[in-house]
């Protein structure tokens, strides 16, 4: 039986849809959990300070390949081993954050799938402008202790400059920073963009509750935030990314090297809108925008 390591940044329950998609993907390639492969899961429960220890545990288990979700856990595993193959199921900017040398030629022992999160911030802001034609000042919440947080902050600021929107930084490093950050822009911003990463994801319900209290429409990167009361999300289909990550694992278990497997991009994206939150904010979603939504939560 081959052994697969899996390092998740959140909790088992939070990532259940994604791991289910991954296990189904393995089955599609002939690998059955508990029969032909075993999966050793490690969950950081939203605590970035646990990544290094959990990565070391998986390395010590001498697994054949380690699957990760997100930039930070992948960096932690990369620092823990240069020999065990690593497959990231979703990473914001694999080249910009140093996970791989290039998308076509990853190099080293790391490859996987990009969620293109940093690349589609222009689309997210465009969707906000459809909803809020008078959008002038945009609050941006990012964990500046996270590589993807810093990178996406620069991306959003560049988009803002190009379209004439002022971007106000809300820098957080811990859960206690969230409330004062939102209070900082109460009555002073037209909307809030939240960078998707473990700290924000763990506190997504709190962020959305505080944003609603401050009358701030929110834009997120994944549907889990909208399920937790956020207004909108636009991003890659994570279930599809995790299903496709199983194909990388299959190739590696059959002898392929990560350095020879190019990083792939998402093939499907989803716009999710929470009508209950829109109503609470007193917003009417334009019919054209609503018609393009892949999912509407009521």
List the pLDDT tens digit at each of the 298 positions of the chain: 999 999 999 899 989 999 999 999 999 999 999 999 999 999 999 888 999 999 999 999 999 999 999 899 999 999 999 999 999 999 988 998 899 999 999 999 999 999 987 678 999 999 999 999 999 999 999 999 988 888 899 999 999 999 999 999 999 999 999 999 999 999 999 999 999 988 999 999 999 999 999 999 999 999 999 999 999 999 999 999 999 999 999 999 999 999 999 999 999 999 999 999 999 999 999 999 999 999 999 9
Domains of the chain: total: 2
Q: Are residues 138 and 285 in the same domain?
A: yes
Do residues 99 and 110 lie in contact, with contact meaning Cβ atoms separated by under 8 Å? yes
User: 72 and 56 in one domain?
Assistant: yes
| pTM attached to this predicted model | 0.88
Do 193 and 281 sit in the same domain of this protein? Answer: yes
Whether residues 211 and 250 share a domain: the answer is no
**Do 152 and 244 lie in a common domain?**
no
Q: What is the pLDDT of residue 119?
A: 77
For residue 227, count other CB atoms closer than 10 A to its CB: 16
150 and 275: one domain?
A: yes
Which tokens go with 192? 């809030």
Same domain, 141 and 124: yes
> How far is CA 102 from its chain centroid?
20
Considering the domain architecture, whether residues 136 and 219 belong to the same structural domain is answered as yes
- Are 242 and 101 within one domain? yes
User: Do 39 and 141 belong together in one domain?
Assistant: no
Statement to judge: residues 186 and 284 lie in one domain:
yes
**Domain membership of residue 263 as a residue range:** 2-115+238-267
Q: What is the CATH number of the domain that holds 279?
A: 3.40.50.2300
Report residue 165 as tokens: 């929107």
Q: Looking at the structure, tell me whether residues 78 and 226 fall in a common domain.
A: no
Predicted confidence at residue 78, as pLDDT, reads: 97
- Give me the pLDDT at residue 241, please: 96
């Amino acid at each position: 039986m081959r052994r697969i390591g899996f390092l998740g940044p959140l909790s088992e329950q939070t990532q259940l849809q994604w791991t289910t998609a991954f296990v189904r993907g393995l089955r599609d390639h002939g690998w059955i959990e508990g029969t032909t492969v075993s999966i050793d899961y490690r969950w950081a429960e939203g605590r970035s300070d646990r990544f290094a220890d959990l990565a070391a545990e998986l390395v010590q288990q001498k697994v054949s390949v380690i699957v990760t979700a997100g930039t930070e856990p992948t960096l932690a595993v990369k620092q823990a081993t240069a020999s065990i193959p690593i497959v990231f199921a979703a990473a914001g900017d694999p080249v910009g954050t140093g996970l791989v040398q290039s998308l076509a030629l990853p190099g080293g022992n790391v490859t996987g799938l990009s969620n293109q999160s940093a690349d589609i911030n222009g689309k997210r802001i465009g969707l906000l402008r459809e909803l809020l034609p008078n959008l002038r000042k945009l609050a941006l919440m990012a964990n500046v202790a996270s590589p993807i947080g810093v990178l996406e902050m620069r991306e959003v600021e560049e988009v803002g400059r190009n379209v004439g929107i002022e971007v106000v930084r809300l820098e957080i490093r811990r859960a206690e920073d969230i409330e004062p950050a939102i209070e900082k822009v109460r009555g002073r911003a037209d909307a809030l963009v939240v960078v998707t990463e473990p700290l924000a994801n763990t506190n997504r319900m709190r962020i959305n509750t505080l944003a609603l209290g401050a009358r701030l429409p929110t834009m997120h990167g994944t549907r889990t935030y909208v399920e937790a009361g956020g207004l909108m999300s636009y991003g890659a289909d994570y279930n599809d990314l995790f299903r496709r990550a199983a194909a990388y694992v299959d190739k590696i278990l059959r002898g392929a090297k990560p350095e020879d497997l190019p990083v792939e991009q998402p093939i499907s994206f989803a716009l999710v809108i929470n009508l209950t939150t829109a109503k609470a904010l007193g917003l009417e979603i334009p019919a054209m925008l609503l018609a393009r939504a892949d999912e509407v939560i009521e």
